[in-house]
Structures are given as structure tokens and as C-alpha cells.
Amino acid sequence: MLKIESGINLAKFTSIKIGGIAKYFYEPTNTDDFLQVLNYAKNKSIPFFVLGGGSNLLISSTGFEGLVIRTTKLTSINQLDTTHILADAGVRLPHLARFAGNLNLSGLEFSCGIPGTVGGGVIMNAGAHGSSMSELVEYINVYDFLTDSVKKMTNDQLSFAYRSCILKPGSQVVLNACLRLKQGDKNEILAKIKANEDYRWKTQPLSYPNAGSTFKNFSPTQPAGKLLDLAGVKNLTCGDASVSAIHANFVINLGKAQSSDVIDLLGKMQTSVFNKFSIKLFPEWKTLGNFGNKIDDIWG
């Protein structure tokens, strides 16, 4: 029997600490439980949303009239052989990087400052320091909402690209992922992880709630942060939403920011870059809930 909760405030489950009330909410604790709740949503025709770490996401302060399924209690990790690890969708990437490091397995060091989950990391093809999930994924197991079935998809079927893959959020759900790592030296791996984390604390506004990079890079030589900085958006604010003084592609929540403040700020950031460079940047973030028609223009 699924114990589905109702009236849960989602703000605390996002890294930017913004969000409204979910009509229904559930946190599966194993894959069978996950499949059961997905099946329930299908049979009852309830709109659902799979929430991972909420670290690349803007949730409307007006909430969501459906079922939010949060994966972060799906935390099983299995070493399959000397180089392969099978990790549940809800495993946090920094935890997985350390877990692998302690097994003398290298490859995930880039992800230690990415506060998302394996599922979110695959969907977004999360990447940093010149590496991304696409280089590690051997296969994933996916629940397909339309056919109500589970299938295995290999790396070449996933069409990974910059911050995307072929999976459709909303109808295809990552259950777990098998990653191919390399054998390495535990001390070197853990030292690399620490260096990456230290670098982030110096270059990102990590003491404020934020959702990581706001806009996608326009091109490898024209990163969004640089264009935004040159367009002079640092310290621009709307309500309690502000562009970080440390990194122009980070929006921070100074305390009581609402999703509407963030949307207004994103509009100003986008316009500033367009006015200076005739370049339209598009957000990297996913959204959940109703934002009125303002987001259509911003997300394009």
C-alpha cells in the first residue's frame, strides 16, 4: 500500500529553496516501490514529476497539481565487476564519486561539485572540467510511461549532447545507471575530488541557495557566464532573487525569493546579453508548475 502524502512544500527539496505545494508527494525506497508509484500515476491518470536533487530546477511558488516522486531515497550502489558500478537513480553524484574513489575507481571526480542525482545527471548529461556523464554511462534501465514497461538503453541509444540526452522527462524515467569507470589510485582520486571542491568554493556562490548555471553556454568559446558578466548583470536583483557577484551565471536566493522574482530576473539577464551581443541565451534549468506565459519567451 503506497503511503502518498499530500500538501508538501517543495521549496526545501530544491537547491535554490523556491517552490510551492505539491498536491501529492511520494519518496520510493527501492526500485519496485518506484515502479509501483509510477504505475499508480499511470492507472489513475495523475500528472507526475520525477524530482531528483532539485539542483537544476525552478519550481513555481504556486505549486504543482500533481504527484511529485522524489528519488533521493533510492540509494543502492553495486559494484558489478572491476570497473562497473550500478547506481540507483537517487544516488547523489558527489557521494558516488567518493564511493567509487574508495574502491580505487576513477572517472567521477568531475562530478563531485554537482549536487544532483544519477537520474538527473543522466537526463541533463551533467558535466564539468571537460568531462560528462555521457563518457561513463554504459547503459541505463528506464521506465517508459507510455508503454508501461522497463527497458535497457545503451549509451549509443541515448544520443547524449551538451546538457541533454534523448530521454523525455515526464514519460521516460531513469531507474538506475551502469557506469564504466577506470581503475585508479584511491589517494589520487580523493585528492582530485578535494581539489575540484575547493575550486568550486572559490568560483561559485555556494553559501547562498542557487540552482547552478542558469543559462546554457552559447558556444565553447562564449560561455554564458562571460557574456553575462560583460553585459553587466552582476548584482542585478528582482525581489530577493539576485545575480551573484561571484559568478554572473548564478542566480542566488537572498532569502524570500519567489519563482516570479527569478523569472523576472532571468528575463532581464537574457535581455542584457541580447542588447549587447545580439545573442539569445537559453536557460539550462528545467521547470515545474505554472509560471504564466513569461517563460515561453525566456525558454524559447
Show which residues are catalytic: 163, 213, 284
Q: CB 20: neighbour CB atoms within 10 A?
A: 19
200 vs 268 by CB, closer to ligand FAD: 200
Residues 6+ apart with CB under 8 A from 188: 106
Whose Cβ is closer to ligand FAD: residue 129's or residue 186's? 129
Residues paired with 77 in a beta bridge = 87
Residue 19 binds to ligand FAD (criterion: CB under 6 A): no
Residue 167 C-beta: closest distance to ligand FAD, Å: 6
| Binds ligand FAD (CB under 6 A): choice among 20, 101, 107, 127 | 127
C-beta of residue 159 within 8 angstroms of C-beta of residue 166: yes
Distant-in-sequence, close-in-space partners of 95: CB < 8 Å, separation ≥ 6: none
Shortest distance, CB of residue 276 to ligand FAD, whole angstroms? 25
Place of cell 548584482: 235
166 vs 183, beta carbon nearer ligand FAD: 166
| One residue of 128, 153, 273, 298 binding ligand FAD per CB under 6 A | 128
Nearer to ligand FAD, 129 or 276 (CB): 129
Instruction: Output the CA–CA distances (angstroms, integers) from residue 85 to 89, 119, 180, 232, in the order listed.
Output: 12, 14, 7, 44
In this chain, which stretch among 3-11, 49-57, 218-226, 259-267 interacts with ligand FAD, using CB under 6 A?
49-57
* Interacting positions 156-215 with ligand FAD (CB under 6 A): 169, 173-174, 204, 206, 210-212
Tell me which of 60, 61, 71, 214 binds ligand FAD, using CB under 6 A: 71
Q: How many residues bind ligand FAD (CB under 6 A)?
A: 34
For ligand FAD, the binding residue among 8, 10, 41, 57 (CB under 6 A) is 57
Which residue number, 123 or 137, has a Cβ lying nearer to ligand FAD?
123
Residues 6+ apart with CB under 8 A from 11: 17, 18, 19, 20, 59
Give me the 103-122 binding string for ligand FAD, x by CB under 6 A, dash otherwise. ----------xxxxx-xxx-
Among 124, 153, 265, 281, indicate the residue that binds ligand FAD (CB under 6 A).
Answer: 124
Q: Which residues bind ligand FAD (CB under 6 A)?
A: 15, 49-57, 71, 89, 113-117, 119-121, 123-124, 126-128, 169, 173-174, 204, 206, 210-212, 286
